[in-house]
Amino acid sequence: MGMFKNKNVFITGAVGGIGKAISIAFAKEGAKIALTDLDEKGLKESFKELQSKKTVIKTYLLDVTKEKMVKEVVSKVLEDFPCIDILVNNAGVSTMNWFWELTEKEWDFNMNVNVKGVWLVTKHIVPYMIKRKKGKIVNIASMAAKMGAPLLAHYSASKFAVVGFTQSIAKALAPYRINVNSVCPGFVKTSMQEREIVWEAKLRNIEEPEKVRKEYIEQTPLGRLCCPEDVAKTVLFLSSENADFITGQSLNVTGGSCMY
């Protein structure tokens, strides 16, 4: 308990699935947290839930694709908190389609949130970390950042970009003692997955969506779906002093589905 006491954490996409698990994990370890999300109702619910953890929790409505809003929220957070020690870029979206059926709107939606959003938030927080010559940044990528999938060409491209961005800025920020890493979850049991198995079943003409879920498990050597808490544990490790000599890496949390 208290591993992150007196640490200030900025989390995007903080209220659902992986983001919620990360928020809870940090709160349990005493971190002071700036929860940001586009889901106003979810922010209020998360705030109520995390209040019991007896730490400082503040919420901010944020669309990571809007630079003006990002800049304003970062400024507000730095009024409420003395600094930002840890940034977790978790906000992300997915859709599913054969690449030749994708619309420009669908492509841009994935790229804007998954790539542009990571860049914008990092862009406006990093200068403050540089001044302090200290910080940890963890970007949530995906197994799709290492293994292309037929129905996820656009999503996979966006997550490959996150890994490339992670490696690039890790080199740029190393002289300032800022560690930058990403996490690549596998088949994660979230509401997003619930939507995806329905989409995939329809696109592959599979009558029962549950068959798709079983395929995910069969592709996972450890024999189960990834839980959001599995991802959260890895995020906390990369954010801790235990990972001080790790940067530019993309850690798999896939149960063996991806081993490189």
H and E: helices and strands count for the chain: 9, 7
Overall size of the chain counted in residues: 260
- Distance (Å, rounded) from C-alpha 139 to C-alpha 194? 23
Measured between alpha carbons, how far is residue 199 from residues 194, 203, 231 in Å?
9, 6, 24
- Is residue 128 flagged as an active site residue? no
Choose, from 60, 128, 155, 176, the residue flagged as catalytic: 155
Reference 208, options 221, 198, 223, 193; nearest CA is 198
Residue 101 exposure: Cα atoms within 13 Å on the Cβ side: 8
Token pair for 89: 């870029």
| Cβ count within 10 A of residue 200 | 22
Q: Residue 149 corresponds to which amino acid?
A: A
Residues designated catalytic: 155
